[in-house]
């Protein structure tokens, strides 16, 4: 009897990822939705599943680290924080790497069995503590690209396959000059004001364009942003309520921070305007070092002259292609 793989979803924002991942796995897959959200329509007919992967001897895929039972979750987070702090102070002391290699050696000798659980990341924006202690214990991983694959393997983790941004493999034609603003903020008074200011700053470029060409998405864990709704009417924006795979595939220009939408935009060869070149979110030092080499070549919203693809800087496009080749 064929083994069925269970994809565990604990957060609302991971439902789309789960259904997209299901589409590229050859084996039978069921979604174990433990979030408080109903299932979303992922438009299965539109997903490009030309590359199917097979994962032998696997019972469960967990999309986000730190989803073990509570008693172990607290322990793993504590160990990751302490060991990462130790690595920063004593660079040659790579405790997690040593543990991972020892576990890989023991699995190779069949002294301990191969894990049937794979714990992956939500995107390429890998954190300083990657791979987590939980991922090292599991010893199996699905990589987004080159850099997380190399880091995982250096820590003794078996990488089953490279899957890229599987949740954006959507068969849809790009609409010329279309813009998608993808802020990655939870909704609160400070963040609502921040997004409103971004919309206002680029308002001179959007107010005279067709409304359908200016689209903005909310953070997947947000239900509404009152301030954003007020500003988007004035500056001719459309709130994007469709599946993110569709909105990303249609857009020719992405406005975002250096977070998961940035990496997805690189993967999809989009023209990118950064909200800021400052990397505000915690990021693995090797990934951060690589990105910083190219940031000055990628324009910000302060550099926008007009929101058309023909006027996007060619040097930026070349930088995006080169960075993509090194990441993926």
Each residue of 160-176: pLDDT tens digit? 999 998 888 666 678 99
pLDDT attached to residue 245: 80
H or E stretch at 6:
strand 5-9
pLDDT digits (tens, 9 = 90+) for 14-43: 888 888 899 889 999 998 888 776 655 554
Greatest alpha-carbon pair distance for the chain in Å reads: 67
Say if CB 251 and CB 312 are below 8 A apart: no
pLDDT in tens, 206-242: 998 999 999 988 766 565 566 666 777 788 888 887 7
Q: Which pLDDT score is estimated for 39?
A: 58
From 141, 132, 122, 5, select the one nearest 60 (Cα to Cα).
5
Tokens 């060619």 correspond to: 314
DSSP 8-state secondary structure symbol assigned to residue 74? H
Task: Tell me the domain boundaries of the chain.
Answer: 5-168, 179-327
CATH 3.40.50.2000 fits 179-327, yes or no: yes
* pTM, 2 dp: 0.84
The residue among 244, 260, 253 whose CA lies nearest residue 298 is 253
Q: Which helix (H) or strand (E) holds 60?
A: strand 60-62
Nearest to 62 by CA among 170, 134, 157: 134
pLDDT at 141: 95
pLDDT at 246: 83
- Cα distances from 120 to residues 42, 66, 140, in angstroms, run 20, 10, 8
Please check the confidence at residue 325 and state whether its pLDDT lies above 50: yes
Render pLDDT for 274-306 as a digit per residue (tens, 0 to 9). 999 999 888 999 999 999 999 999 999 999 999
* Mean pLDDT value across residues 89-110: 78
236: closest CA among 263, 202, 191, 206? Answer: 206
How many of the other CB atoms lie within 10 Å of CB of 26? 12
Report which of 19, 86, 25 is spatially closest to residue 245, judged by C-alpha positions: 19
């Amino acid at each position: 009897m064929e083994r069925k793989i269970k994809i565990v979803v604990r957060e609302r924002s991971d439902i789309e990822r789960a259904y997209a991942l299901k589409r590229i796995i050859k084996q039978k897959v069921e979604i174990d939705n433990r979030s408080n959200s109903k299932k979303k329509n992922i438009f299965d007919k539109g997903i490009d599943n030309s590359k199917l992967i097979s994962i032998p001897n696997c019972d469960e895929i967990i999309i986000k680290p730190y989803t073990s039972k509570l008693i172990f979750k607290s322990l793993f987070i504590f160990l990751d924080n302490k060991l990462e702090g130790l690595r920063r102070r004593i660079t040659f002391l790579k405790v997690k790497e040593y543990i991972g290699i020892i576990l890989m050696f023991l699995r190779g000798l069949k002294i301990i069995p191969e894990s049937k659980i794979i714990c992956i990341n939500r995107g390429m924006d890998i954190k300083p503590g990657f791979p987590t202690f939980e991922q090292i214990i599991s010893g199996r991983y699905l990589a987004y690209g080159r850099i997380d694959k190399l880091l995982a393997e250096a820590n003794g983790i078996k990488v089953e396959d490279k899957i890229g941004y599987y949740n954006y493999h959507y068969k849809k034609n790009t609409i010329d000059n279309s813009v998608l603003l993808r802020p990655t903020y939870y909704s609160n008074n400070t963040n609502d004001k921040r997004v409103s200011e971004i919309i206002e700053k680029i308002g001179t470029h959007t107010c005279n364009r067709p409304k359908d060409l200016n689209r903005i998405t909310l953070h997947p864990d947000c239900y509404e942003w009152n301030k954003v709704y007020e500003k988007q009417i004035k500056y001719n924006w459309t709130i994007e309520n469709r599946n993110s795979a569709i909105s990303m595939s249609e857009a020719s220009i992405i406005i975002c921070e250096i977070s998961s939408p940035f990496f997805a935009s690189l993967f999809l060869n989009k023209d990118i305007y950064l909200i800021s070149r400052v990397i505000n979110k915690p990021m693995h030092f090797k990934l951060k070092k690589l990105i910083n080499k190219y940031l000055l070549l990628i324009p910000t919203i302060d550099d926008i002259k007009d929101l058309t693809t023909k006027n996007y800087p060619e040097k930026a496009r070349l930088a995006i292609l080169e960075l993509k080749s090194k990441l993926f």
